[in-house]
Structure 1
Amino acid sequence: MAKVKVEMPEEFLRKLSLLGSKTDEIAGRVLEAGGEVVLAKVRSNLSSVIGSGTKYDSRSTGELERSLGLTPPLVDRDGNHNIKVGFAEPRSDGGSNAMLANIIEYGKNGQPAKPFLKPAQTSSRKACTSAMIRKLEEEVEKL
């Protein structure tokens, strides 16, 4: 049986061991950096579609846009770190912000769809990944 011994630089091993104890903390900051990029794109897309192309004047109160935000970074039951872009609930009138966003995104009878979430997801993917990589490198350098 063959045997292989690989030695890694001490500095690299030290950073890996430090990262191991701070993984949750660093993962949260990295996810927030990426989430902010996506949130900005969703907010921009939402602002551009609300009230556009309607037969009547917009009755928008701005409540849907104000309720858009990021959740804190969380760890699910499988151990995956997640952050979500979404809408706070409930509305001041008792309705659901998620329902209104769904109607805007997919339309309804007599109201055409005005997608804002899906385009934001696809167009911000590379920028989000880049922001997360930069943040991770920055955090590793601090160790």
Structure 2
Amino acid sequence: MAKVSIKMPDEFLLRISRLGDQIDVIAPRVLEVGGKVVLEKVKSNLSTSIGKETKYPSRATGEMLSSLGLSEAKQDRDGNFNIKVGFAEPRSDGESNAKIANIIEYGKHGQPAKPFLKPAQSASRKSCTEAMIAKLEEEIGKL
């Protein structure tokens, strides 16, 4: 059986070891920076999708766009940190923002789909990753 031994650069190991117990403080900050990048792209896509190319006059109130936000970073039971881009609930008219977003994203009978989430995810992936790497480097530099 073949055996491989990989040696990590000493500088990298030193930087990682400095993180230690600070990872619980740094990870939410890094995720928040990345989440803001994605949030802005989703808002941009949603604002161009709402009320455009409809058969009937738009009934858009702007409530859905204003309810779009970012959750705080939380740690799940597996120890992974997560942050979510989503809608605050409920709306003033009793409907669910998630339901309306789903209809806009995927369409329904008589209403074509106007995807805004999937394109935002793929379009912001690179810039989100770059922003998170830059923030991580900044946070590690502070240690």
The two structures share one fold, judged by TM-score above 0.5? yes
State the Cα RMSD in Å: 1.8
Report the residue type matching 2:109 in the other structure: N
Work out the CA distance in 2 between the residues paired with 1:6 and 1:62: 52
The alpha-carbon deviation at position 21 of structure 1 amounts to 1.3
Work out the CA distance in 2 between the residues paired with 1:38 and 1:7: 33
Work out the CA distance in 1 between the residues paired with 2:118 and 2:84: 14
Work out the CA distance in 2 between the residues paired with 1:105 and 1:30: 28
Partner residue, 1:29: 29
Partner residue, 1:122: 122
Q: How high is the TM-score relative to the length of structure 2?
A: 0.90
Q: Deviations over 1:20-44 (max 9, x none)?
A: 1110110000000000000000000
Q: Deviations over 1:71-104 (max 9, x none)?
A: 0001111111100100011111111000000000
Work out the CA distance in 2 between the residues paired with 1:27 and 1:97: 29
1:40 and 2:40 correspond: yes
Work out the CA distance in 2 between the residues paired with 1:127 and 1:6: 27
1:68 and 2:58 correspond: no
The equivalences for 1:94-133 within 5 A come to 94-133=94-133
SS at match of 2:41: helix
Q: Deviations over 1:115-138 (max 9, x none)?
A: 000000001000000000000000
The alpha-carbon deviation at position 17 of structure 1 amounts to 3.5
SS at match of 1:22: helix
Count of residue correspondences: 137
Percent identity between matched residues is: 68
Q: How high is the TM-score relative to the length of structure 1?
A: 0.90
Work out the CA distance in 2 between the residues paired with 1:110 and 1:7: 59
Report the residue type matching 1:69 in the other structure: G
Report the residue type matching 1:130 in the other structure: E
Report the residue type matching 1:125 in the other structure: R
Report the residue type matching 1:63 in the other structure: E
